[in-house]
C-alpha cells in the first residue's frame, strides 16, 4: 500500500487541523470519506477536503462500504469507545482523538481490544495527543536533554485560557456536548488539560501520584455544575514534582507562561499563548534568551498525522502507545478521586 485511504469521522472543530496533516503528507494519505451525523457539517467540510469524498451520516454505513484503510475518529468523548470498537471489528487502522474513553472501565476494555488489534490484526491503534508533537514542547525536551539547565527538579503547567483570545474558539453553549460533564467525562480535566499534562510526562518522567481539586469559576454563560478550574500537585516516580493549573475564564488573563521548567542551572519557559516561544534563563542569560520564533500549537497536528500515516504505511513504531496515552485520563481520574479522599492518589494502581 503506498497511499493510505482515510475516512474522517466527525467533521467539527478539530477536523481541519487533522486535514492539514493529510494535505501535507505528500500524497501518502488521501481522505476518501467523511462521516458526520450532521450531514451538513460533512458536506461543508468536503469543500475543504476536495476530491469529492463520499459522505455518510453513520459510521456503520461507512464501515459497510469499507473502501478505506484508516479511520480518524474525532467525535464527542462519550462516543470514542463504541466508535473505536466498531473500527477495530472492521479491521481498520485507527487514530482516535483524546481521551480514549470517559471512564476507567471503558479505557481498560479498549486497551485490551486495541492491543489485540495491534498484535493480531497488525493494525495501528493510535490515540491522538498532539502535544507530543507541539514544536515548542519538543524544543524544551531537546534543551533539557542537552543538559543546559542541569537537573530538572520541578515544572509548572498552566492551562489557563480565556474565551477572549483562545484560537480554538471556546463556544460556550450549554447544549453543546463539550459542556455536558456526562458526555465529556468531567470538565476541564477531561478537556484540554491532557495537552499540558503530556509535556510534563515527556520532560519529567512518569507520574506516580497526585493530589488536587476541581471547582467551578465565574465563567459567564457556563452551565452550572461544569468544572472550569483544576489545581493539582504531581509526584513523579523519580521523586520530582510538578504543579498543574487549569482554568477556563471568560475574563481577561495575564500572560502567565504555559510552562515553566526549573533545573539546577536555570529555567525554561513556553510563553502563555498558542503561538508563544521558548525562552531559556541561565547564568549567561539572566534576562532570558529567546530560542527563536515560535511555530505554535497548530503546528503540532501535521507531525501527529504524519506519525499516524507512517505507522500505517511503513510500520513505524508509535511515539506513544495506547497504554502510555491512557496516562493523561488516569491522572485526571486520580485527581477526581483525590477530591473525594482529600489524599494523594496513585495514578496507575487502580
Ligand atoms: N487536540 C486538540 O487540541 C483538540 C481540540 C479540540 C477537540 N479535540 C478533540 O476532538 C474531538 C472532537 O472535538 P471537536 O471539538 O471537533 O467537536 P465538535 O463538536 O466540533 O465536532 C464533533 C463532530 O462530530 C459529529 N458527530 C457527533 N456524533 C457523531 C456520530 N455518532 N457519528 C459521526 N459524527 C458525529 C458532530 O456532528 C460534529 O460535527 C474530541 O475528542 C475532542 O477532545 C482535540
Average confidence (pLDDT) over 204-220: 92
Architecture of the CATH domain 4-128+301-319: 3-Layer(aba) Sandwich (3.40)
Closest atom, ligand 1, to C-alpha of 14: 16
> Cβ distance 275 to 294 under 8 Å?
yes
Return the CA Rg of the chain: 20
Ligand 1 mean position to 76 CA, how many Å?
Answer: 5
pLDDT of residue 176: 85
Ligand 1 mean position to 144 CA, how many Å?
Answer: 34
As assigned by CATH, the class of the 131-297+330-346 domain is alpha beta
pLDDT of residue 167: 53
Burial of 121 (0-12, 13-18, 19+ CB in 10 A): middle
Alpha carbon 130 to chain centroid, angstroms: 5
Share of the chain above pLDDT 70, in %: 97
Q: Where are the domains of the chain?
A: 4-128+301-319, 131-297+330-346
Ligand 1 mean position to 79 CA, how many Å?
Answer: 10
Model confidence, pTM:
0.97
Q: Is 267 in the pocket of ligand 1 (CB under 6 A)?
A: no
Q: Is 10 in the pocket of ligand 1 (CB under 6 A)?
A: yes
β-pair partners for 236: 207
Specify the residue with its C-alpha closest to ligand 1, atom 34.
36
Q: Which residues contact 223 (CB under 8 A, 6 or more apart)?
A: 174, 179, 180
Q: Which residues contact 185 (CB under 8 A, 6 or more apart)?
A: 77, 78, 99, 101, 102, 103, 329
pLDDT of residue 250: 85
175 — pLDDT class (breaks 50, 70, 90): confident
- The per-residue DSSP string of 2-41 comes to -SEEEEEE--SSSHHHHHHHHHTSTTSEEEEEEE-SSHHH
35 — pLDDT class (breaks 50, 70, 90): very high
Q: Is 9 in the pocket of ligand 1 (CB under 6 A)?
A: yes
pLDDT of residue 349: 85
Ligand 1 mean position to 11 CA, how many Å?
Answer: 7
**d(Cα 340, Cα 343) in Å, to the nearest integer?**
8
Q: Is 44 in the pocket of ligand 1 (CB under 6 A)?
A: no
DSSP element (H, E) containing 285: strand 285-290
pLDDT digits (tens, 9 = 90+) for 107-148: 999 999 999 999 999 999 999 999 999 999 999 999 999 999
pLDDT of residue 219: 80
Burial of 5 (0-12, 13-18, 19+ CB in 10 A): middle
Specify the residue with its C-alpha closest to ligand 1, atom 4.
14
pLDDT digits (tens, 9 = 90+) for 278-310: 999 999 999 999 999 999 999 999 999 999 999
168 — pLDDT class (breaks 50, 70, 90): very low
pLDDT of residue 220: 80
Q: Is 59 in the pocket of ligand 1 (CB under 6 A)?
A: yes
Q: Is 33's pLDDT higher than 80?
A: yes
Specify the residue with its C-alpha closest to ligand 1, atom 1.
130
The position carrying cell 520564533 is: 293
Amino acid at each position: 500500500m503506498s497511499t493510505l485511504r482515510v475516512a474522517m469521522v466527525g467533521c467539527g472543530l478539530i477536523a481541519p487541523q487533522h486535514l492539514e496533516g493529510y494535505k501535507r503528507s505528500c500524497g501518502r494519505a488521501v481522505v476518501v470519506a467523511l462521516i458526520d451525523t450532521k450531514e451538513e457539517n460533512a458536506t461543508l467540510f468536503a469543500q475543504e477536503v476536495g476530491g469529492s469524498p463520499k459522505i455518510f451520516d453513520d459510521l456503520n454505513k461507512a464501515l459497510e462500504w469499507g473502501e478505506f484503510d484508516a479511520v480518524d475518529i474525532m467525535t464527542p468523548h462519550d462516543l470514542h469507545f463504541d466508535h473505536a470498537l466498531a473500527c477495530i471489528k472492521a479491521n481498520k487502522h485507527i487514530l482516535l482523538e483524546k481521551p480514549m474513553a470517559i471512564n476507567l472501565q471503558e479505557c481498560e476494555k479498549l486497551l485490551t481490544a486495541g492491543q489485540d488489534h495491534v498484535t493480531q490484526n497488525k493494525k495501528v491503534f493510535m490515540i491522538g495527543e498532539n502535544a507530543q508533537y507541539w514544536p515548542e514542547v519538543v524544543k524544551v525536551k531537546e534543551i533539557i536533554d542537552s543538559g543546559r539547565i542541569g537537573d530538572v527538579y520541578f515544572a509548572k503547567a498552566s492551562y489557563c485560557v480565556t474565551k477572549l483570545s483562545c484560537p480554538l474558539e471556546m463556544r460556550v453553549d450549554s447544549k453543546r456536548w463539550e459542556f455536558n460533564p456526562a458526555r465529556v467525562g468531567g470538565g476541564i480535566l477531561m478537556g484540554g488539560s491532557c495537552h499540558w499534562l503530556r509535556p510534563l510526562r515527556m520532560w519529567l518522567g512518569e507520574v506516580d501520584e497526585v493530589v488536587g481539586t476541581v471547582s467551578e469559576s465565574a465563567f459567564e454563560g457556563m452551565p452550572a455544575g461544569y468544572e472550569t478550574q483544576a489545581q493539582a500537585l504531581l509526584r513523579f516516580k523519580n521523586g520530582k514534582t510538578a504543579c498543574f493549573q487549569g482554568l477556563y475564564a471568560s475574563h481577561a488573563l495575564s500572560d502567565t507562561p504555559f510552562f515553566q521548567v526549573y533545573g539546577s542551572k536555570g529555567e525554561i519557559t513556553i510563553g502563555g499563548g498558542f503561538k508563544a516561544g521558548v525562552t531559556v534563563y541561565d547564568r549567561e542569560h539572566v534576562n532570558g534568551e529567546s530560542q527563536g520564533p515560535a511555530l505554535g500549537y497548530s503546528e503540532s497536528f501535521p507531525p501527529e498525522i504524519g506519525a499516524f500515516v507512517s505507522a500505517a504505511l511503513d510500520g513505524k513504531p508509535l511515539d506513544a502507545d495506547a497504554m502510555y496515552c491512557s496516562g493523561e485520563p488516569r491522572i485526571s481520574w486520580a485527581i477526581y478521586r483525590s477530591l473525594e479522599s482529600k489524599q494523594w492518589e496513585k495514578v496507575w494502581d487502580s
